[in-house]
């Protein structure tokens, strides 16, 4: 039933369409006939037919041409605006690029370095500088910064306007120290410089002279708690949490006019000393910011400056085997008595390494030092080279245990596996050019010694058969017994072939 009805409806629709076409054709014929009749009448009325052109599509073509011309004009205008914007961008970047790159020294940590550990680069207690300014979890410390400013103004009997005016002169230079745009207006940026700078100087002064001596209570929640001060110290060596050293110098000169060119090393030495991986006393003064001051202090007396590092050690730094493998090849390890942790020496099969202190703040310090060397083009790569070297040496807890046994590593973390994980994590995702390594010659000498078969045989005898004093005594006794046995056999044979003369 349904199929029959559907068939009827289809056939009826075909008939309707055929009828519609017939009607449209009929009216078309009538319309064309009327047009021909009108042309004849116009010819009789106006004369020559050739002068009159009747084209039905001409008005439509004219409209299309006008629309196309309008679109071309609009496109041309948009292109002109785009070119003007490109020229403005080129002028803006061209005018500021050189000066910004010359002063740039405080960077955002590249994302590839933060893939495995973000916490070591992010402040947890206090924000210094614009990058983390205003973060919610850091806001409680802002009130204590104002307390420090009030204390300084009251103690020195100064007006804060004097500090504001001093920072206005340094604003442009300070902005150029930071990477990327800073979303702070002039007043906000200057206020931040004064607030953070005075806070840092007050921390330095309180640590060196005593917080109670400069006016703080013994139970002060910030300036009297050593535990919190340790966290502040760790935050102040993060690359993204820095203030230009010129700002600190300018603020300190307002409080201590006797400071002329450099911030006295005795002022910041007591504050940063607990964070250092060595017991050496810092002597370097000045730098780009607190992290750079620490780095220069760790590399003091290295014999080469950052500018000179590009001219030395053209031989690429090679990879080196771990402690266990080097010991199997006959390399012995010794602690080198020097305060310079980077001063490693290899001589006559002995690899001499200075003592290195490992504690809770070591990881964050080394990671941020590496990040600074990765970002700052004028910096040498000595810290990175040292970390890559130690990462190659330490592959397991057994390697750490051996270095700890000989006093090369002082472990405050706890287990040897934690130290091993620390060094194995420090070298991850680090882009290192072997030509920048200051340990190039040393790694080459160690690898040559490692490849000598005779050294491997000697080490095998020493470690497997002569690994304790009793083994030496047993060997001497066996050799002595062997000699006596040989002599006895010799004289017995000699007496057989040449018996003594009979009397």
- Greater model confidence, 208 or 318: 208
| pLDDT per residue as tens digits for the range 405-440 | 999 999 998 899 999 999 999 988 888 877 668 898
Contacts of 414 (CB under 8 A, 6+ apart): none
Task: Give me the pLDDT at residue 373, please.
Answer: 95
The CA distances from residue 234 to 140, 144, 238, 359, in Å, are 17, 18, 7, 12
Q: Are both 288 and 195 inside the same structural domain?
A: yes
- Greater model confidence, 42 or 477: 477
Considering the domain boundaries, does residue 87 fall inside one? no
Contacts of 237 (CB under 8 A, 6+ apart): 272, 275, 290, 291, 294, 364, 365, 368
Task: Give me the pLDDT at residue 15, please.
Answer: 54
Please give the backbone phi and psi of residue 336, each rounded to the nearest 5 degrees, phi first.
-95, 130
CB 233 within 8 A of CB 361: yes
Indicate the DSSP class of residue 139: T
Sheet holding 345-347, edge to edge: 332-336, 350-354, 345-347
- Greater model confidence, 280 or 260: 280
Task: Give me the pLDDT at residue 503, please.
Answer: 60
Q: Are both 115 and 210 inside the same structural domain?
A: yes
User: What is the pTM assigned to this prediction?
Assistant: 0.76
Q: Are both 427 and 477 inside the same structural domain?
A: no
Q: Are both 380 and 329 inside the same structural domain?
A: yes
Split into its structural domains, the chain has a count of: 3
Considering the domain boundaries, does residue 38 fall inside one? no
- Rounded-to-integer distance, Cα 343 and Cα 453, Å: 28
- Greater model confidence, 47 or 451: 451
- Rounded-to-integer distance, Cα 152 and Cα 216, Å: 11
| Average pLDDT taken over every residue of the chain | 81
- Greater model confidence, 70 or 239: 239
Return the number of other C-beta atoms located less than 10 Å from residue 404's C-beta: 16
Considering the domain boundaries, does residue 39 fall inside one? no
How much is the average pLDDT of 337-357? 91
Task: Give me the pLDDT at residue 102, please.
Answer: 83
Q: Are both 147 and 220 inside the same structural domain?
A: yes
Considering the domain boundaries, does residue 29 fall inside one? no
Q: Are both 271 and 408 inside the same structural domain?
A: no
CB 371 within 8 A of CB 428: no
Q: Are both 493 and 435 inside the same structural domain?
A: no
Considering the domain boundaries, does residue 149 fall inside one? yes
Domain final residue pick, 298, 324, 347: 298
| pLDDT per residue as tens digits for the range 15-26 | 566 656 665 665
- Greater model confidence, 53 or 319: 319
Q: Are both 278 and 421 inside the same structural domain?
A: no
Indicate the DSSP class of residue 51: G
Domain final residue pick, 242, 267, 298: 298
- 359: confidence class by pLDDT, cuts 50, 70, 90: very high
Question: Which structural domain range is residue 478 located in?
Answer: 469-497
Considering the domain boundaries, does residue 56 fall inside one? no
Residue 362 CA to its chain's centroid (Å): 16
**pLDDT at residue 453 tops 80:** yes
Q: Are both 372 and 430 inside the same structural domain?
A: yes
Of all residues in the chain, what percent carry a pLDDT higher than 90?
47
Q: Are both 368 and 482 inside the same structural domain?
A: no
Question: For every residue of 385-439, which 3-state class applies, written as one string?
Answer: HHHHHHHHHCCCHHHHHHHHHCCCEEECCCCHHHHHHHHHHHCCCCCCCHHHCCC
**pLDDT at residue 193 tops 90:** yes
Considering the domain boundaries, does residue 80 fall inside one? no
Q: Are both 228 and 323 inside the same structural domain?
A: no
Q: Please tell me which of 35-39, 47-51, 168-172, 273-277 the model is most confident about, judged by mean pLDDT.
A: 168-172
Domain final residue pick, 240, 268, 298: 298
Task: Give me the pLDDT at residue 1, please.
Answer: 40
Q: Are both 170 and 281 inside the same structural domain?
A: yes
| pLDDT per residue as tens digits for the range 158-181 | 999 999 999 999 999 999 999 988
Radius of gyration of the CA atoms of the chain, in A: 42
- Greater model confidence, 58 or 116: 116
Considering the domain boundaries, does residue 270 fall inside one? yes
């Amino acid at each position: 039933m349904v199929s029959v009805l559907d068939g009827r409806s289809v056939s009826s629709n075909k008939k309707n369409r055929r009828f519609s076409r017939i009607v449209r054709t009929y009216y078309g014929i009538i319309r064309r006939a009327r047009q021909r009749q009108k042309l004849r009448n116009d010819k009789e009325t106006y004369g020559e037919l050739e002068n009159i052109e009747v084209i039905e599509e001409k008005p439509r073509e004219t409209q299309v041409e006008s629309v196309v011309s309008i679109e071309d004009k609009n496109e041309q205008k948009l292109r002109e605006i785009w070119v003007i914007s490109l020229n403005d961008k080129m002028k803006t970047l061209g005018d500021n690029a050189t000066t910004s790159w010359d002063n740039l020294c405080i960077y955002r940590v590249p994302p590839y370095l933060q893939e495995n550990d973000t916490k070591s680069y992010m402040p947890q207690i206090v924000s210094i500088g614009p990058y983390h300014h205003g973060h919610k979890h850091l806001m409680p410390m802002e009130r204590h910064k104002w307390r420090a400013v009030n204390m300084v103004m009251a103690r020195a009997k100064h007006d804060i306007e004097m500090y504001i005016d001093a920072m206005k002169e340094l604003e442009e230079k300070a902005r150029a120290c930071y990477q990327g745009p800073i979303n702070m207006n002039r007043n906000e940026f200057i206020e931040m410089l004064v607030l953070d700078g005075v806070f840092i100087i007050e921390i330095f002064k309180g640590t060196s002279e005593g917080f109670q001596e400069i006016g703080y209570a013994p139970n002060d929640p910030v300036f009297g708690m050593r535990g919190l001060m340790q966290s502040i110290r760790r935050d102040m060596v993060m690359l993204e949490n820095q203030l230009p050293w010129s700002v600190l110098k300018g603020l300190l000169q307002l409080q201590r006019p006797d400071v002329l060119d450099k911030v006295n090393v005795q002022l910041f030495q007591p504050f940063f000393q607990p964070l250092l991986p060595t017991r050496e006393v810092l002597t370097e003064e000045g730098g780009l910011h607190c992290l750079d001051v620490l780095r220069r202090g760790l590399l003091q007396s290295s014999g080469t400056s950052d500018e000179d590092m590009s001219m030395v050690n053209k031989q690429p730094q090679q990879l080196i085997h771990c402690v266990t493998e080097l010991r199997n090849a006959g390399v012995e390890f010794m602690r080198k008595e020097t305060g310079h942790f980077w001063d490693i020496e290899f001589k006559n099969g002995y690899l001499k390494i200075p003592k290195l202190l490992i504690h809770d703040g070591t990881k964050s310090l080394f990671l941020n030092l590496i990040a600074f060397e990765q970002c700052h083009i004028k910096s040498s790569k000595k810290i990175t080279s040292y970390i890559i070297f130690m990462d190659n040496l330490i592959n397991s807890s057994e390697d750490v245990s051996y270095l700890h046994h000989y006093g090369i590593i002082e472990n405050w973390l706890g287990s040897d596996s934690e130290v091993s994980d620390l060094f194995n994590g420090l070298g991850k995702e680090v882009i290192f050019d072997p030509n920048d390594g200051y340990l190039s010659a040393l790694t080459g000498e160690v690898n040559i010694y490692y490849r000598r078969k005779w050294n491997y045989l000697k080490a095998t005898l020493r470690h497997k058969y002569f690994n304790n004093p009793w083994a030496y005594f047993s060997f001497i006794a066996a050799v002595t017994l062997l000699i006596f046995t040989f002599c006895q056999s010799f004289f017995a044979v000699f007496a057989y072939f040449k018996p003594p003369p009979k009397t």
